[in-house]
Amino acid sequence: MKLALAQLDVAEAAPETNRTLAVQAIESAAASGADLVALPELWNVGFFAFDSYETLAEPLDGPSLSLVRETAAANDVGLLAGSIVENLAESDADGPAETGLSNTTVLYDRDGSRLATYRKQHLFGYESAENQLLVPGDSLGVASFEGFTVGMTTCYDLRFPELYRALLEQGVTLVLVPSAWPYPRVEHWKTLPRARAVENLFYVATVNGAATFDAATLLGRSTIYDPWGTELASSGDEPTLVFADIDPERVTAVREEFPAIDDRRE
């Protein structure tokens, strides 16, 4: 399976501009043979647009997700639709009715059907208003796609390895991580996803933004790690597409060669 990470130059509080960029990225990735395309965190509004979260929040069937879902389906590719600020009260949310705003990620199949939804569990508080404005999620987002069991986490979640262990218990073989990771924490960005891949012997793909806001500059460096923690493909900090061919059988082979998962003690 060819995975494409769309590292976008996200414009702050400009959803129409960002939707155009996302559509162009999906179409370009599909034309290059991608089977699955991933967008970054809060790609439609920008992570640091805290004053605009409430006014630009959308339901799951709102204009941003509808447009990228339809674009991916028209191009016969699966889509990890980054994340948006979701208005829970307006969404056809899974489970009991909820209110508030959430940082929400959705995985779509090639035909545009929704496979899984994940709401960011660990909300960032350091120089950020995310944990004051949003409601944390409390469930995993897991689905099957092209032979993989795909899990989703979002940005700051990378610092909490227990979440990735929970995904491992669900049989996950590929974790997609939409992010808005800023300078100067480059070494953290490089170390944490590689560690999550090594610990759990699965693929981890981090798709970051490439943009400068008043509050911060995103560092890009979207990367795909294999189950050994080997970097298969990566980028700099400019807008780009990152591609790598990945294989679910690779996870099986690595775990058979190095059975650390079997040696865990509860």
The two three-digit tokens of residue 197, written as one number: 């891949």
Domain span holding position 101: 2-260
Written as tens digits, the pLDDT of the chain (266 aa) is: 999 999 999 999 999 999 999 999 999 999 999 999 999 999 999 999 999 999 999 999 999 999 999 999 999 999 999 999 999 999 865 554 578 999 999 999 999 999 999 999 999 988 899 999 999 999 999 999 999 999 999 999 999 999 999 999 999 999 999 999 999 999 999 999 999 999 999 999 999 999 999 989 999 999 999 999 999 999 999 999 999 999 999 999 999 999 999 999 87
Task: State the pLDDT at residue 127.
Answer: 81
The two three-digit tokens of residue 9, written as one number: 């130059």
Stated pTM of the model: 0.96
Distances (CA, A) of 6 to 53, 128, 170, 220: 22, 24, 27, 10
Q: Does residue 202 sit within a domain?
A: yes
Choosing from 12, 58, 86, 120, the catalytic residue is: 120
Is 238 an annotated catalytic residue?
no
Residue 113, classed as helix, strand or coil, is coil
The three-state (H, E, C) secondary structure of 48-80, written as one string: CCHHHHHHHCECCCCHHHHHHHHHHHHCCCEEE
Q: Does residue 52 sit within a domain?
A: yes
B/e letters for 78-97, b = 16+ CB within 10 Å, e = fewer, are bbbbbbbbbbbeebebeeee
DSSP annotation of 171? T
Q: Does residue 265 sit within a domain?
A: no
Q: Does residue 101 sit within a domain?
A: yes
Is 190 an annotated catalytic residue?
no
Q: Convert the pLDDT of each residue in 126-151 to its tens digit.
A: 889 999 999 999 999 999 999 999 99
Is 12 an annotated catalytic residue?
no
Q: Does residue 266 sit within a domain?
A: no
Q: CB within 8 A of 19, min separation 6: which ones?
A: 44, 63, 64, 67, 68
Q: Does residue 47 sit within a domain?
A: yes
Choosing from 12, 41, 58, 130, the catalytic residue is: 41
Task: State the pLDDT at residue 92.
Answer: 67
DSSP annotation of 136? P
**What phi, psi does 65 have (nearest 5°)?**
-70, -35
Query: What CATH number is given to the structural domain containing 217?
Result: 3.60.110.10
Strand order of the β-sheet with 2-7 is 114-119, 101-108, 78-87, 36-38, 2-7, 240-245
What is the residue-averaged pLDDT of the chain?
Answer: 96
Task: State the pLDDT at residue 233.
Answer: 98
Choosing from 12, 58, 86, 155, the catalytic residue is: 155
Tell me the sheet residues that pair with 2: 245
Give the count of domains, the chain: 1
Q: CB within 8 A of 115, min separation 6: which ones?
A: 107, 108, 109, 143, 144, 145, 150
Q: Convert the pLDDT of each residue in 194-227 to its tens digit.
A: 999 999 999 999 999 999 999 899 999 999 999 9
Taking phi first (over 0 means left), then psi (-120 to 50 degrees means alpha), and beta for anything else, what does residue 206 get? beta
Q: Does residue 252 sit within a domain?
A: yes
Strand order of the β-sheet with 231-234 is 142-145, 148-152, 174-178, 203-207, 223-225, 231-234
